[in-house]
Amino acid sequence: MPTPNPFVICSIAFLAVFVVLTVLAAVMRVLIVLFPPVDESPGGIEPALVTAITEGVKAAYPGTKVTGIEEVR
């Protein structure tokens, strides 16, 4: 029985990973097309995000109050 060539083993493993990642990318693309993201927040910022920012500021700077959150693009 001949010894396996390391180059062939690595090539096959690389191709297998490439095929798996390609299939996963295709599945993700199909899921994104079937279920597009829904923007449910009327102000553009989700309430959970506002709560997270407020609590983070309170933890970092006790006694402060968040009066407004603005998204900069």
Give, rounded to a whole angstrom, the gap between the first and last alpha carbons of the chain.
63
Q: What is the rounded CA–CA span in Å between residue 18 and residue 7?
A: 16
Model pTM above 0.85: no
pLDDT in tens, 6-63: 999 999 999 999 999 999 999 999 999 999 877 666 666 788 888 999 999 999 999 9
